Amino acid sequence: MIVRRSVLWLIPVAVALADFATADDHGLRSLVAEEKRALDLLSNAPIHVDAAGHAEAEFGRLLEVLEQETVLTDVQKEYARMLPPGEKPEFVIQETSPRHYSYVNKKKQTSELWELCRKLDDAGVFHIVYFAQGERFFGSFKALIHVRACRNHSDNVNWFLSVYAFPENRVYRFLARNIGVVRSYFRSKTRDVGQLGVSICQSLCKKQEPRD
């Protein structure tokens, strides 16, 4: 899911919502079983937030979108196309090596993103997992981003997003957990992220042929 500034905007969202990860990791541990940095993060009581929704798009078309090696680039281009005339995205995500991406935001803060997993499981759920690290106003962070999508009863899409974030700053972790105003603000931002993500998904799916 990509927001106005990118999918990584969800990392400070996750930090601010501040629900600590529970034993229910939606199968994430098995998906990243060979990724030590991901397992270390999950074992270190990360801050956890979930979001969910549905999209009026055929699931077969969504699979075509998500299975493209250029999925992040495709999402980024579609978002740019949807902006008002004359407006441009704040930054562009660059692929620096296979499945490794980076970008620098307007505050000159660098973020890196690695794709760890992309697969359709035996239950018909499609998974994409990213590991991210970088800096924000609260300092350095690491995070796991787990996107899931499945077919619903109307042959459209139910989607789920889980973010497991670990800010290095202990003070911020404490404040994020205990300030209700902050949590309320970022819940509102999460709703905006979901609405934009659905719009981009539906637009991209219209350009794909359905798959059984």
Dist CA 35 CA 49 (whole Å):
21
Dist CA 108 CA 110 (whole Å):
6
The pLDDT of residue 128 is 92
Which amino acid does the sequence have at 99?
R
Instruction: Indicate whether 97 pLDDT > 70.
Output: yes
117 Cβ contact partners less than 8 Å away, ≥ 6 residues apart: 31, 32, 127, 128, 129
Domains of the chain in start order, with CATH, are 7-205 (3.30.530.20)
Q: What is the mean pLDDT of the segment spanning 12-35?
A: 64
Per-residue pLDDT tens digits for 151-173: 988 888 898 888 887 877 776 66
The pLDDT of residue 179 is 53
Q: How many CB atoms lie within 10 A of CB 60?
A: 16
Tokens read off for 36: 């030590």
Check: CB of residue 8 under 8 Å from CB of residue 134.
Answer: yes
Per-residue pLDDT tens digits for 29-86: 999 999 999 999 998 878 777 778 888 888 888 888 888 888 888 888 888 888 888 8
The pLDDT of residue 37 is 94
Per-residue pLDDT tens digits for 99-134: 898 888 777 888 889 999 999 999 999 999 999 988
Q: In 3-160, which ranges are continuous DSSP H helix?
A: 10-17, 28-31, 36-42, 59-66, 71-82
- Helix-, strand-, coil-residue percentages of the chain, each rounded to 5: 35, 30, 35
Range among 102-106, 147-151, 197-201 with highest mean pLDDT value: 147-151
The pLDDT of residue 189 is 53
Pairing of β 100-104 and β 47-55: unpaired
For residues 30 and 141, which has the higher predicted lDDT (pLDDT)?
Answer: 30
The pLDDT of residue 74 is 85
Dist CA 134 CA 60 (whole Å):
34
